[in-house]
Structure 1
Amino acid sequence: MRARLALPIALTAAISVAATACQSSSEAGAGPDAKTPTSASGAADYNPTPYDKLKDGGTYTTAGTFDDQGNPFNVNSTLTATRVWSWYNANAITFSPTGEVQYNPDYFSDVKVSVKGGTQKVTLTLNKKAAFNDGTPIDWTAIKATWKANNGSDKAYAASTTEGYDQITSVTRGKDDKQAVVTFQGVYASWPSLFSTFLHPKAAKVDNFNKAYVKKAHPEWGAGPYTVGKWDTHSGDITFVRNAKWWGKRGKLDKRVYVNLESTAALNAFKNGQLDYVTPGDAESLKQLKGLKGTEIRSGGSPFEYSLRFNTKSPVLGDKAVRKAIQESIDRTQIAKIQFQGLDYKEPLPGSALFYSFQKSYKDNVSAVLKYGPEQAKKELDAAGWKPGSDGIREKDGEKLEIGYTLLGDDPLGKATAGALTAMLKPVGVRLTIKKAADTDFASVLNERKFDLILSGNRSMDPFGARALCEFYCSDRESNLTGAGSPALDKEIRATADIPDLDQQAAAANKVERKALRNYALLPLFSGPSTYSVKKGLANVGATMFYSPLPETVGWEK
């Protein structure tokens, strides 16, 4: 199944990524009496291999392409674009699979964090050799430019998230140009998420930030062990090659190739040996891939979540009573069974858009505000003036209670999910009309809010879930695709960002999320594992959780 990821979590908003796929059945392989675990899988499975155990050379090929907006800081960017970006731009801060911060010495030779008088300062000393491909030194001005483009002070920037950047009061030159001193208003505990990558000062100019990366790469503004070798804008295929201007560890691969293929074509290409990994989209796909000579299945946890989003700006869904009734009519357990059918995997129903059940900060906020109850939904629709018509579909003021559901692509699980939702809502008196759209229409459907209901997901790029609270629920954020919220709730949401202790901040964020979920505009449905079918010997690729292996560490075992 192609994951359709829509909202920014940390740095990314995303679509169609090679990570979630084979989710398994609540019945299969576990027996009818098997109990649902208390948390989703938090395991990683990616064949971790030291750099010196990798052979020099080889090509790594997967399905994927460059999405319309290639700047990961832009609100219209996707996870696919973020991953492509990482192959020819800085990877300065990464996280371990479980979320521990890792500084890349090829970019940051030293990092110091201090708090004095309640004010946090982060001093970033940049590698003396670090330079963009056009020769511009990577220095304090890149950190400053990245901050200015994302802090929300200039509304002309279509920034994915201002969270955290808006708590920085200054970025100044340190002892020399190679040192940036970042000063915060108060303490911002999850600051590493802000500078995991950064922009060339030219790329941070407003027109370039918004438009320069639209269907275009800018390798001259990039940096890293690889750079763009060939970019076919017609086919969408991309080839990365070693970067002669790279000062750090040499990339092990000769080439990194993305081939633009839909999920079915990608499955066949993998079976024919043309791709090095693929994500099986359902149980049948996994069955075809299991046991293929020279391949193996890698499956682990997944910091992904899929939610049903309600466009509160569409006429019927502007009524909160209607949204609540629809959510009460949806049996999330049945949706999960469809997604997990035929695979040996179980997880509890997700209760938050911020945290995952394998994280200590997680709380089941959905259950606190919503109970499955079609009969209750009928009563609420009656009270809201929606009366059953002669055909069973409710009416009010001559208007039918008819809701559109946008189905992207031809994925079998997507079709099955749409069918299940239709069947669940019909007895309550709601007609769900399936509106089909191509995968390639994903960005325009979401960004222009051309939907009533849509299923999409998000991948967390870092473990700081509370940081995403405003991106999901603030009424004044483009990234809040539902359009729900209020200035009063926005104020409560933003107040959580000022809490210096991560545990206390998470607790506050959970409380506010419960209030936000009472707008009944977003309903978490499932997460599932990350499952890959991979050619044997491919190292540092697979279910990595919060970890993003550095490009130079990806390759083939000796």
Structure 2
Amino acid sequence: MSHDGVGLRAVLRSAAFLTAGALAVPLLAGCGSDEKPSRPLAAQDIALVARDKVAEGGTLKWAVDAVPETLNTFQADADAGTTRVAQAVLPSMFRLDAAGRPVANPAYLESAKVIETEPRQVVLYKLNQQAVWSDGREIGAADFVAQWRALSGKNSAFWTARNAGYDRIAKIERGASDLQVRVTFSRPYADWKSLFSPLYPKDVMGTPDAFNDGARRKLTVTAGPFKVEKVDTAKKDVVLTRNPRWWGKPAKLNEIVLHAVDRDKRAAALADGSADLADVDPAEADRIVLASRGQGTGTPLQGSGKTSAKKLRSWALAHGFDSDEVMVGQKKLRKAITRYLKQQDELRAFAVRKSLEPAYTQLALNGAGGPLADQRVRQAVARALDRRELAKLVLTPLGLPADPVGSHLALSGQDAYTDSSGVLGSQDTEEAQALLADAGWVAGGPVKEPKKGEKAAGAENDRGDQEKKSDGGKEGEYIVGEDDKGTRHETGDEGGKHLAQDGRQYTGNGGAPGAYAPQGTAAPAGAVAGPLAKDGKALALRFVLPSGPGSDTLNTVALRISAMLEKVGIRTTITKVSDESYFKDHIASGDYDLALYSWPSSAFPATDARPIYAKPVAAADGSVNVEQNFTRVGTDQVDQLFDEAAAALDQDEERDLIRKADSRIWAMAGSIPLYQRPQLVGVRKSLVNAGAFGFQTPVYEDMGFLKKGVTAGASPAGH
């Protein structure tokens, strides 16, 4: 999961999250002959060229969010960096091509298929006879057995984050030769292709100590085009170098250095040469595009130094400087502008490659208590949303397809994808209001005044878990709605009272430039005449958002959602909290009503998505186990459909069961898919076979820099 930057297998492997790119797994293959398969909405954008155009040697500096805490992808704190390393240095039985199709990785497999279904399912892997570990030992059954035993869940000494699939294996044996591995399942398992990708050597998986601690900061034995040279926490680097025992197509690069760079410093890292490749946010992507076109470098500075501070500040604000950077003395501001212009000059060597991530952003509705415990209220929220408008808001300015996502369990291009949104997927204000009325929420109804020492109606929900002060309190809150007299108002503006744009009421410290409309501005057209109320309480929801770098898009989307909800009589209070506490202290703990975060789309939804939508179960100690279902909304029927899909060896049957499950998840309205996440990557123009990968598993051995005098040609989706 990701809050547009955070995201499935690291999310699922931990009670926390994998980032959206964490573990690339194959997509389900095969569609019914009577159905036309969907296509990815956007093509990959990696400046794809033939290997003979790529120069030998060189170092690729790749910006990542952080140095991985572990190099073991099956541990709870694995992240996207962990996955990048694993993809480059370890075997993976299957990987995805650019169309999102699972293909056997020929470097490791000659074939892999189900050879028996009765009395038990048996999969036979035939390994590439050249495949060896970096210590010279053949990759074989012993490695498969060690990984199965470590991840089966039968030995609690192995600190695994999850055991899905491995717990269904009955035995693993050597086949007719050392190059064959027979895997027999105790129960049918449709998602068997998800297993052994990546595959670790028995040296890592063989004992609890080796599994728990041995692979956290080093991988001594590997089997990919690269090997782990070192993990340098002081320099924030993971250094990968060519594997001299690699038997496949030799890596073009000498080194790949994964270098930790903060999200808001990526453009600067590209400009100063500390990164050649970096995921960037829209604002930094704009900088790179302008620089590449030779724009944005016009200087407001004059040699005589007579440019006024006012003009400098105006220029700086127009070019995306933070308000803190602008409100400094003229001398410091001139230095900051000079530094910016130098960076723009350096950024001419870069381009933005763009696609859509295999991940989507959703609106999560916490159904554990309060108004959202009522399915009708959740459905009303869904009906109030114009999802196409929200998708356009985010994706159209980037030149990307703005189709709203129609499934919780797959994305366009994946076999399981179909638009199951039905009646909940389109905006209908009247229907939303009818659902609210049916749930007992009356427009203009009486709201009880709080007694002395009580909180105002709507200030807390029925869970009672929001009485503690939010981390976001110091960031401030935006309240969208009206008071019990239908008057729109705002507090917190250092004593002043002004109407906020889009109905926002900001209760933080001080004001934000351009955030307020003049006093007396009318409410948006279509707003209800008064708050909806029930049992003396106004219908008010707490909308929690992260406040860190890269959260601007989420904030914009949240404000638009809040305006849509206001039109049906739902008031929202937007509370901003730190990135560090957003998931741990709010999403996972249930301290929110509405939230925006992203889930990566899995190739194996029957396995990977089940914990996200599983019905919460009460434990013996009175606690509730929600697994990864942070909306706390689920049914026995959905659980059963997932279980049936996981056991369906016929791919068409599995696909149909997944689609039925998705239809029922839509009806529960615990989460509303909005749009596929944009993937913007700043890349040195000479770097090829790398960039916005889309569904594809990166081919690390093909990445490199163009030979001198060679051109890459037009990029399929490039800026």
TM-score interval for Structure 1 and Structure 2 normalised by the shorter chain? 0.7 to 0.9
Q: Which region of structure 1 is more displaced relative to structure 2, 45-54 or 500-509?
A: 45-54
Counterpart of 1:199, as a letter, is Y
Aligned-pair distance for 1:495?
Answer: 0.6
1:4-58: per-residue Cα shift (whole Å, max 9, x none)?
3533499885337699xxxxxxxxxxxxxxxxxx975242332233444432211
What is the number of equivalent residue pairs in this alignment?
Answer: 538
What is the CA distance between 1:124 and its match in structure 2?
2.0
Q: 2:549 aligns with which of 404, 410, 414?
A: 410
For residues 131 and 443 of structure 1, do their structure 2 counterparts lie closer, same or farther at Cα, with a shift above 3 Å needed?
Answer: farther
Q: Which structure 2 residues correspond to residues 29-44 of structure 1 after superposition, within 5 A? A: 41-44=41-44
Distance 1:69 1:166 in 2: 23
Q: Find out whether 1:454 has 2:454 as its counterpart.
A: no
Greater RCO (CA < 8 Å, at least 6 residues apart): 1
Task: Output one character per residue of 1:67-98: Cα deviation in whole Å (capped at 9) or x when no partner.
Answer: 55653334654444322332333334212112
CA contact (8 A) 2:88 2:227 kept: yes
Matches within 5 A, 1:393-472: 393-394=531-532, 396=534, 401-411=540-550, 412-441=552-581, 444-445=584-585, 446-448=587-589, 451-460=592-601, 462=603, 464-465=604-605, 467-472=607-612
Deviations 1:313-362 (A, max 9, x none): 46554333332232222222232122124233333221102222334542
Contact 1:165-1:194 at 8 Å conserved across structures: yes
The aligned runs of 1:209-224 (5 Å cut-off) are 212=213, 216-220=216-220, 222-224=222-224
RMSD: 3.8
* Distance in 1 between residues matched to 2:355 and 2:438, nearest whole Å: 46
Aligned to 1:543: 692
Instruction: Specify the alignment match of 1:482 in structure 2.
Output: 631
Where does residue 555 of structure 1 map in the other structure?
704
| Superposed displacement of residue 494, structure 1 | 0.7
Q: Report the AA paired with residue 198 of structure 1.
A: L
CA distance in 2, matches of 1:243, 1:124: 24
Q: Using a 3 Å threshold, how does the CA distance of structure 1 residues 546 and 157 change in structure 2: closer, same or farther?
A: farther
Structure 1 312/172 Cα, relative in aligned 2: closer, same or farther at 3 Å?
farther
Deviations 1:233-268 (A, max 9, x none): 356432222345555544322221222223331023
CA–CA distance in 1 between the matches of 2:61 and 2:46? 16
Q: Does 1:15 pair with 2:16?
A: no
Matched, 1:296 2:351: yes
- Give, as a single letter, the amino acid of the residue that structure 2 aligns with 1:179: Q
**How far is 1:365 from its partner?**
0.8
SS in 2 for 1:377: helix
- What is the distance in 1 between the residues matched to 2:285 and 2:47? 22
- Residues 8 and 602, structure 2, Cα contact 8 Å, conserved in 1: no
Alignment of 1:79-478 (within 5 A): 79-115=80-116, 117=118, 119-127=120-128, 130=131, 132=133, 138-151=139-152, 162-175=163-176, 178-184=179-185, 188=189, 190-201=191-202, 203-204=204-205, 212=213, 216-220=216-220, 222-233=222-233, 236-244=236-244, 246=246, 248-282=248-282, 285-286=285-286, 288-290=288-290, 291=292, 293-313=348-368, 315-359=370-414, 361-387=416-442, 388=445, 389=447, 390=484, 392-394=530-532, 396=534, 401-411=540-550, 412-441=552-581, 444-445=584-585, 446-448=587-589, 451-460=592-601, 462=603, 464-465=604-605, 467-475=607-615, 478=627
CA shift for structure 1 position 185 = 5.4
Aligned mates of 1:4, 1:145 — CA distance in 2: 34
Q: Unaligned stretches of 5+ in structure 2?
A: 24-37, 293-346, 448-483, 486-529, 617-625, 708-719
Question: Shift of the alpha carbon at 1:514?
Answer: 0.7
Counterpart residue number, 2:341 = none
Query: TM-score by structure 2 length?
Result: 0.65
Distance in structure 2 (CA, Å) of the matches to 1:373 and 1:520: 15
Comparing 50-59 with 184-193, which one deviates more in the overlay?
A: 184-193
Unaligned runs of 5+ in 1: 20-37
Please state if 1:507 is matched with 2:656: yes
Deviates more, 1:500-509 or 1:401-410: 401-410
Displacement after TM superposition at 1:479 (Å):
3.1
Q: Identity rate of aligned residues, in percent?
A: 28
Bigger radius of gyration, 1 or 2?
Answer: 2
Give the secondary structure class of the aligned counterpart of 1:55. Answer: coil
Quickly say closer, same or farther: Cα 1:198–1:479, change in 2 above 3 A. Answer: farther
Q: Secondary structure at the match of 1:48?
A: coil
**In structure 1, how many angstroms separate the alpha carbons of the residues matched to 2:146 and 2:666?**
35
- The change in CA–CA distance for 1:444 and 1:85 in structure 2 (over 3 A counts) is farther
